[in-house]
Amino acid sequence: MNPQDMKPKHEPWYRSKTFKRFRRNPLAITGTVMLIIFVVVAFLAPAITAPQLATIRSARPCVRNLGLKRGEVVQALRNPLKLTFWRAAIKPPKSCYNIPRAGYSPLPKPPSKEHPFGLTSGSYDILYGLTWGARTAFYIGFLVVGISLAIGIVIGGVSGFLGGWVDNLIMRVVDVMLAFPRLVFVMIVSVIFGSGLTQVMLALAVVGWVGYARFFRGDILKTKAQDFVDAARALGSSPTRIFFKHVVPNSIGTLLILASMDVGSIVLTAAGLSFLGLGAPVGYADWGQMISFARGYILGTAQGTPFDFWYVWIFPSVVLVLFGLAWNLLGDAVRDALDPKS
Amino acid sequence: MTTFIVRRLLQLPVVLLAISLVIFGMMQFLSPTERAATYAKSEQQAQHLDAIIRQYNLDKGFLVQYGTWLKQVLHGNLGFSKQSHEPVLTTIRKRLPVSAELALYLFFPTLAFGIWMGTMAAIHRDKLIDQIVRVFAIIGWSLPTYVMAIWLLAVLFGQLHCCGIGRVDDAIAVQIAEGKLKTYTGMITLDGILNGRWDVTLSGLKHLVMPVITYTFVASAQIMRVLRSSMLDVLNSDYVRTARAKGLPESVVNIKHARRNAIIPIITIAGLMFAFLLEGSFFIEIIFNFHGLGQWSVPAAVQLDFPAVIGIALLVGFSVSVANLIVDILYGIVDPRISFQ
């Protein structure tokens, strides 16, 4: 008999009770819809900001790298039948992530027809920064979670499967890593390797694996104790075969789902670091960096109260909070669905 | 019980050593010249980096270097900070009371508020208050500290001109700078009382209003959620039913029987909160202009002033480990089952 037969039979995921519980939770649907909107905005960023790309002079490098002339930008980027539309949406040139500047005025400008969300100090276009910032956010979130997951799965897997002194050593390393708050670790990394978005992502990934390794190790220990693993061992399967064919596939599902819910909090953390000046450089399309523009106007200045410049700080911070809220609603619903008791 | 505490205490030096090793290991990515700059106090000394490299064994093998470095650290020589133009340890000494005071004022309201709201939500399950707490918790959870701080700053300070930023009113800050106020602890609210100056204490408290609101709203969410679910577990247990059956008043059952046990996971959370608190207070110090450790070390990191950052990393790593140790021991005391494992 194949040891796999001893496992309970699985129905397809969309018919499972877990998914039903998820589907019936109104908060889950709200979170999902919000996230879909964010994905669509991120994907359509070039189309949404085509007018800005066409009119603002400092957007030229981006337009040139897309192989366009200024007159044809709007038609090319808003027509899904054209190749440029897809090229810009899927893999735009790097120069497009620099927010175009409509001038050099130190005073922010309120929303207008050309700049629907207004301009920050230094005349960076806020709509542009927010839509392209959504792309940066997804990029940071998924990349950091992906890398930490990869490290976490390997280390947690080795630790849980081998056990003994290896397990002990790895868990002590985990304890030491937990003594550093993320912010402090990022500070160390940026002092040694310089500050920038790449360094921040690296640092977050290096700190992030710890939780996953712990969780995966615990899950593996639970799976290892189950009957079908004993059965496989009794049938003479090698330890590696047992590990990859029986233990990992049965442990990894929950971890993947729970980890993907961390994308939101990673993005909020990364934005916070950009806000402090440790992440994205000034003018890069990143939400945290956009919020840091607010610092000059939040105390009220000679030019007016904070609410005279509301668009500088309200738009970016609301977008950021909605993004975090969407992921948390989703994450909450997923955890409830996986573990109905809590 | 005693063996448990002793065993945990003995583990501490090992963990601290491991932390210092991690930090030192990361420093190895810098060249000896860059590391020598740690000990250079002035432009003239920076001319003689070779001498410094030889003095601190920066060209020797890893273990010799580590030994020399550790000895310096243990003697309090953390190097020289470009950001504050003085030795790192001096700056830490000056700014630590500010951060510690802020942390104290942030920690307890958050914990108390979280426990109170979590209890209320569990007792009145699925009623209006439970729904309010849930909404409150999920919004607080999604709101980063810096965003909440900025919103409060705009509304309370920018628009309504309430509460003030910095630690105290400007007039009092001037008096402190002139030395008219004796410094006992470095904590403004406490020093005010010790000097018999209530206006100073009041001013300090007034300036703490915005940081405390910010942090309580953002950080108590986690505590509410944990307490609510563990309280619900306990409320369904047999001994709570027994207590009710005995005819005890509902409030006694809820507070004395149920919450006592529900609060155990909160100790874990409070331990985790400590690391989180450090992070949050760095943002708060920067946004509300408190001259604490965060307000110095984060700009130091941006300016590549690495002795400052290494000093902070050591301090934070050590204090988080000690906090974890305290949590472990508390846990053993509150829940005797743990220490027997």
pLDDT digits (tens, 9 = 90+) for A137-160: 999 999 999 999 999 999 998 888
The domain made up of A17-338 has a fold known as MetI-like fold (1.10.3720)
B322 Cβ neighbours under 8 A, 6+ residues apart? B12
DSSP string, A277-295: TSSSPTTBS-HHHHHHGGG
Residues 221-280 of B with CB under 8 A from A: 229, 275-276, 278-279
C-alpha span between B87 and B307 (Å, rounded): 9
Residue A340 is predicted with a pLDDT of 61
For tokens 């202009």, what's the residue? B289
Quote the CA–CA distance of A336 and A24 in Å, as a whole number.
11
Q: What is the Cα–Cα distance from B313 to B294, expressed in whole angstroms?
A: 11
3-state secondary structure of A11: coil
The residues, any chain, with a CB within 8 Å of residue A148's CB and separated by 6 or more, are: A204, A205, A206, A207, A208, A209, A212, A259
Return the pLDDT at A138: 94
Cβ pair A342:B309 closer than 8 A:
no
* Any A CB within 8 A of B6 CB: no
Residue A108: strand, helix, or coil: coil
Chain A contact for B25 (CB, 8 A cutoff):
no
Which residues does residue A124 pair with via DSSP β-bridges, in sequence order? A101
pLDDT of A111 over the 50 cut: yes
Q: Cβ–Cβ of B313/A180 closer than 8 Å?
A: yes
Q: Which residues pair with A284 in a beta bridge?
A: A98
Whether chain A has a CB inside 8 Å of the CB on B20: the answer is no
Minimum-distance CB partner of A179 among B29, B298, B320: B320
Look-up of token digits 């709007």: A74
Question: Are A180 and B320 a contacting pair at CB < 8 A?
Answer: yes
The residue type found at B36 is: A
Distance of residue B189 Cα from the nearest chain A Cα, in angstroms: 24
Given an 8 Å threshold on Cβ–Cβ distance, is A264 in contact with B142?
A: yes
ipTM (interface predicted TM): 0.85
Query: Looking at CA atoms only, how far is residue B82 from chain A in angstroms?
Result: 13
**B162 and chain A: CB distance < 8 Å anywhere?**
no
DSSP string, B208-264: HHHHHHHHHHHHHHHHHHHHHHHHHHHHTSHHHHHHHHTT--HHHIIIIIIIHHHTH
* Pairwise pLDDT comparison (A14 vs B178), residue with the higher score: B178
What does the pLDDT average to over A240-269?
A: 83
Per-residue pLDDT of chain B (341 residues; tens, 9 = 90+): 778 788 888 888 888 888 898 888 888 888 887 787 777 777 677 777 777 787 777 778 888 888 888 888 888 888 888 888 888 899 999 899 999 999 999 988 998 898 889 888 988 888 899 888 888 888 888 888 999 998 888 888 877 878 778 888 888 888 888 877 888 888 888 888 888 888 888 888 888 999 999 999 988 888 888 888 888 888 888 888 888 888 888 888 887 777 777 777 777 777 777 778 888 899 999 988 888 899 999 988 888 888 899 999 999 988 888 888 888 788 777 766 655 54
The residue-averaged pLDDT of A244-260 equals: 80
Q: Note the pTM of the prediction, 2 decimals.
A: 0.87
Residue B6 to residue A229: CA distance in whole angstroms: 39
pLDDT single digits (tens) A86-98: 888 888 888 888 8
Average pLDDT over residues A188-201: 87
Q: Sign of the C-alpha dihedral, residues B226, B231, B236, B239? A: positive
CA-nearest of B162, B173, B147 to B209 is: B162
B185 touches chain A (CB under 8 A): no
Residues of A in contact with B310 (CB under 8 A): 188, 191
Q: Do A188 and B310 touch (CB under 8 A)?
A: yes
For residue A303, the chain B residues in CB contact (below 8 A) are none
Contact B146 A272 (CB under 8 A): yes
Q: What is the DSSP letter of A9?
A: P
Q: Give me the mean pLDDT over the A270-276 stretch.
A: 91
Q: Which two tokens stand for residue B44?
A: 């003239």
Asked if pLDDT for residue A58 goes beyond 50, the answer is yes
List chain A residues with CB under 8 Å of B15.
172, 175-176, 179
**Amino acid code (one letter) for A235:** L
- Provide the residue type at A73 as one letter: V
Going from the C-alpha of A220 to that of each of A170, A213, B46, B51, B178, the distances in angstroms are 15, 10, 54, 54, 63
Whether residue B306 and residue A182 make contact (CB cut-off 8 A), yes or no, is no
Tell me if A188 and B150 make a contact (CB, 8 A cut-off): no
The domains of chain A are located at 17-338
Mean pLDDT of chain A: 84
What CATH architecture applies to the domain B99-291?
A: Orthogonal Bundle (1.10)
DSSP letter at A246 equals I
Of A176, A182, A294, the CB nearest to B18: A176
Residue B80 dihedral angles phi and psi, to the nearest 5°:
-120, 130
pLDDT of residue B341: 47
Alpha-carbon distances of B12 from A178, B69, B200, B247, B267, rounded to whole Å = 14, 20, 39, 48, 19
Burial of A43 (0-12, 13-18, 19+ CB in 10 A): middle
B144/A305 CB distance under 8 A: no
Give B86-125 as a DSSP string.
EEHHHHHHHHHHHHHHHHHHHHHHHHHHHHHHHHHHHHTT
If you average pLDDT over residues A302-310, what whole number do you get? 73
pLDDT of residue A300: 64
**Which chain B residues are Cβ-neighbours of A271 within 8 angstroms?**
144
A276–B317: do the CB atoms touch at under 8 Å? no
B317 interfacial to chain A (CB closer than 8 Å): yes
DSSP state at residue A119: B
Minimal CA separation from B193 to chain A, in Å? 30
Alpha carbons A142 and A135: distance in angstroms, whole number: 11
Residues whose CB is less than 8 angstroms from the CB of residue B163 and which lie 6 or more positions away in sequence, other chains included: B156, B157, B206, B207, B209, B210
Nearest to B226 by CA among B118, B108, B133, B303: B118
Residue in A287, A285, A278 with CA at minimum distance from that of residue A318? A287
DSSP H or E segment with residue B87: strand B86-87
CA distance B315 to chain A (A): 10
* Per-residue tokens: B139: 């919004």
